[in-house]
Structure 1
Amino acid sequence: MPALDLPFSLLDRSRTRAGEPDAVAVRATVERAHRAEGLGYSRFWVAEHHAVPGIASGSPAVLAAAVAARTHRIRVGSGGVMLPNHVPLVVAEQFAVLESLYPGRIDLGLGRSLGFSAPVREALRTARTDPEKFLRDVAEVRAYLQGRGPVTARPAVAQAPPMFVLASGAGLTLAARAGLPVVVGGPVLRGPAPLAPYRAAFDDGPAAPAHPYVIVSANVMVAATRGAAEELLLPDAWAMAASRATGAYPPLEEAAAVRRRSLTPKQRESVEQFYDQAIYGSPDEVVAELADLVRRTGADEVMLTTSTYDRDELARADAAIARLFTA
Structure 2
Amino acid sequence: MLRLSLLDRSRTRAGHLEGDALVHSIQRAQRAERYGYERFWAAEHHAVPGIASGAPAVLLAAVGARTSTIRIGSGGVMLPNHQPLVVAEQWLMLAALFPGRVDLGLGRSLGFTAPVRRALRQEAGTDTFAADITETLAYLRGTADVTAHPAAPEPIAVFVLATGAGIGIAASLGLPVVIGGPILANPELPELLTTYRTQFRGDAGASVIISAEVLIADTPEQARELALPEAWAMARSRQTGVFPALEPVSAIRSRPMTGRLAERVDAHLAGMIWGTRQSVAAHLEGLAERTGAHELLASGATFDRDALDASDAELASLLVSAPAD
Shorter-chain TM-score: which interval?
over 0.9
Distance in structure 1 (CA, Å) of the matches to 2:190 and 2:107: 18
Distance in structure 2 (CA, Å) of the matches to 1:95 and 1:116: 24
Q: Deviations over 1:237-281 (max 9, x none)?
A: 011111223444210001111122223522222211111111111
Distance in structure 1 (CA, Å) of the matches to 2:167 and 2:196: 10
The alignment of Structure 1 onto Structure 2 pairs a total of residues equal to 320
Is residue 2:263 matched to residue 1:269?
Answer: yes
Question: C-alpha displacement at 1:90, in angstroms?
Answer: 0.1
Is residue 2:159 matched to residue 1:172?
Answer: no
Is residue 2:44 matched to residue 1:30?
Answer: no
Moved more, 12-21 or 177-186: 177-186
Which among 60, 79, 82 is matched to residue 83 of structure 1?
79
Q: Deviations over 1:53-80 (max 9, x none)?
A: 1000000011111111111111100000
Aligned in 2, Cα 1:243/1:284: closer, same or farther, shift over 3 Å?
same
Match of 2:10 in 1: 14
Which among 205, 220, 232 is matched to residue 226 of structure 1?
220
Match of 2:57 in 1: 61
Question: What letter is aligned with 1:160?
Answer: P
Query: TM (normalized to structure 1)?
Result: 0.94
Question: C-alpha displacement at 1:31, in angstroms?
Answer: 0.7
Distance in structure 1 (CA, Å) of the matches to 2:125 and 2:231: 28
| SS of residue matched to 1:224 | coil
List aligned pairs for 1:47-196, cutoff 5 A: 47-128=43-124, 130-131=126-127, 133-190=128-185, 192=187, 194-196=189-191
Question: What letter is aligned with 2:38?
Answer: S
Aligned in 2, Cα 1:272/1:102: closer, same or farther, shift over 3 Å?
same
Question: C-alpha displacement at 1:197, in angstroms?
Answer: 3.0
Distance in structure 1 (CA, Å) of the matches to 2:242 and 2:193: 31
Q: Deviations over 1:64-105 (max 9, x none)?
A: 111111111111000000000000000000000000111110
Q: Is the CA contact (8 Å cut-off) linking 1:179 and 1:212 kept in structure 2?
A: yes
Q: Deviations over 1:1-46 (max 9, x none)?
A: xxxx221000000000112111100011001000000000000000
Which among 239, 242, 252 is matched to residue 245 of structure 1?
239
Q: Deviations over 1:153-195 (max 9, x none)?
A: 0111132311111112232222222321111112244363614
Question: What letter is aligned with 1:165?
Answer: V
Q: Is the CA contact (8 Å cut-off) linking 1:173 and 1:198 kept in structure 2?
A: no
| SS of residue matched to 1:323 | helix
Q: Is the CA contact (8 Å cut-off) linking 1:112 and 1:129 kept in structure 2?
A: no
Distance in structure 2 (CA, Å) of the matches to 1:176 and 1:149: 22
Percent of residue pairs identical? 53
Gaps (5+ residues) in structure 1?
none
| SS of residue matched to 2:318 | coil
Cα RMSD (Å) of the superposition? 1.6
